[in-house]
């Protein structure tokens, strides 16, 4: 029998980051560790199907042998109610059969929830309902940005337990520097008073949560026209250029580190932007810029990306990067993720719960 830990939380609360950290820690203990995401969100087309990018990342980083269809048996889009209303019994069957296959031969199985715990409560497949089916202990993550984080954790703890699952503890994640001591002291104390073990308080590291230019290029299926040696630049938000160069300059001067999005025919804006050192320039509409623009960008070390989409579609696609870890398996970001989780989350306490569970079963 496998020991299952369900890593859940609110949207963009660092669930995948926690799975990465836990996976490495359990492996260091010499345990056979698996990963499973019962319900994912289709964001990337791969092998003839839409796939969940978190699952693709985990498979690559951890060298998981199981096929994507087993690691994430149900992948849904934004319009999912028609898909699940008539076939939830079939979805449950696929989830349970995939769970059995993925957990076979494992000591510990890390299960990552979808974006929100209540997702698919309409058909009995919400996170706590599945956690009960798997006999999994839930670790709940929440962004530690404000006092409301404590109320959210307590609210979801009650929801999870109402559905018959068990909460192992909570992690306050991505805490801004100025809030860190407050979260560790006041907010954590309030949670402990309400019977919730706080397993960790993790500071926000911008280099972890911000996408790189490489991440942006991948999600946009962009052609890299210049600056290929600077694809690891971090992208701190975006600025859309649809004004005159004079009007844009005041904004551009305050936007160092942001990616500048405009059409390839706006040479005037692009040249102006290049002087303010953006992290990248994204050209929409599949319009190639002038040779002068590319030469200047190459000289300044600023990547220029060309996409076929219009500006609105481009910005919408970039929303997929919000708060996600989507770098290459050998990137510094992945290693940093593991180090941060190891340092700021009490992984040993989680390992001890596995050992106690194992001892009970002889």
Q: What is the DSSP letter of 324?
A: -
User: What CATH class is the domain 3-206+326-360?
Assistant: alpha beta
CA angle at residue 70 from 11 to 347, to 5 degrees? 50
CB neighbour list of residue 330: distance below 8 Å, 6 or more residues apart: none
Q: Which residue has the higher pLDDT, 256 or 216?
A: 216
pLDDT band at residue 256 under the 50/70/90 scheme: low
Q: Which two tokens stand for residue 138?
A: 């839930």
Q: What is the DSSP letter of 136?
A: P
C-alpha–C-alpha distance, residues 30 and 11, integer Å: 32
- Please state the φ and ψ torsions of residue 11, each to the nearest 5 degrees: -60, 135
- Please state the φ and ψ torsions of residue 120, each to the nearest 5 degrees: 70, 20
Residues forming CATH 3.40.1390.20 domain(s) in the chain: 213-321
Residues forming CATH 3.40.50.300 domain(s) in the chain: 3-206+326-360
Choose the weakest-confidence range: 10-19, 27-36, 47-56, 235-244: 235-244
C-alpha–C-alpha distance, residues 248 and 245, integer Å: 5
pLDDT value of residue 244: 60
Q: Is the dihedral of CA 327, 330, 336, 337 positive or negative?
A: positive
C-alpha–C-alpha distance, residues 338 and 319, integer Å: 24
Q: How does the average pLDDT of the chain come out, rounded?
A: 88
Q: What is the DSSP letter of 86?
A: T
Name the helix (H) or strand (E) containing 214. helix 213-220
> For the domain bounded by 213-321, which CATH number is listed?
3.40.1390.20
pTM listed for this prediction:
0.81
Highest mean pLDDT of the ranges 9-13, 269-273, 299-303:
299-303
Q: Residue 157's CB: how many other CB atoms inside 10 A?
A: 22
pLDDT value of residue 158: 97
pLDDT value of residue 282: 94
């Amino acid at each position: 029998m496998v020991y299952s830990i369900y890593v859940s939380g609110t949207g963009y609360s660092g669930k995948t980051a926690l799975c990465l950290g836990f996976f490495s820690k359990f492996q260091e203990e010499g345990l056979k560790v698996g990963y499973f995401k019962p319900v994912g969100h289709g964001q990337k087309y791969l092998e003839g199907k839409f796939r969940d990018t978190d699952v693709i990342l985990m498979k690559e980083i951890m060298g998981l042998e199981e096929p994507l269809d087993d690691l994430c048996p149900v992948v849904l889009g934004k319009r999912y109610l028609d898909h699940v209303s008539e076939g939830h019994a079939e979805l449950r069957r696929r989830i349970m059969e995939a769970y059995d296959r993925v957990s076979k031969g494992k000591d510990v199985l890390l299960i990552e929830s979808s974006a929100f715990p209540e997702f698919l409560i309409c058909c009995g497949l919400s996170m706590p309902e599945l956690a009960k089916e798997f006999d999994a202990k839930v670790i709940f993550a929440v962004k530690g940005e404000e006092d409301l984080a404590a109320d959210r954790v307590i609210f979801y703890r009650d929801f999870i337990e109402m559905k018959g699952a068990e909460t192992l503890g909570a992690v306050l994640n991505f805490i801004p520097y100025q809030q860190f001591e407050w979260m560790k002291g006041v907010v954590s104390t309030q949670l402990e008073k309400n019977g919730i073990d706080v397993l960790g308080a993790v500071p926000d590291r911008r280099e972890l949560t911000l996408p790189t230019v490489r991440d942006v290029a991948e999600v946009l299926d962009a052609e890299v026209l210049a600056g290929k040696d600077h694809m690891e630049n971090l992208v701190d938000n975006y600025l859309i250029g649809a004004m005159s160069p004079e009007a844009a300059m005041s904004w551009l001067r305050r936007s160092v580190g942001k990616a500048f999005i405009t059409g390839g025919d706006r040479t005037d804006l692009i040249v102006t932007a290049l002087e303010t050192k953006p992290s990248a320039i994204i050209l929409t509409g599949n319009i190639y810029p002038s040779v002068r623009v590319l030469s200047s960008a190459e000289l300044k070390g600023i990547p220029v990306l060309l996409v076929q989409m219009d500006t609105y579609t481009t910005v919408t696609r970039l929303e997929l990067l919000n708060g996600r870890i989507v770098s290459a398996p050998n990137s510094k970001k992945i290693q940093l993720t593991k180090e941060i989780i190891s340092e700021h989350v009490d992984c040993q306490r989680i390992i001890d719960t596995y050992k106690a569970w194992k001892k009970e079963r002889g």
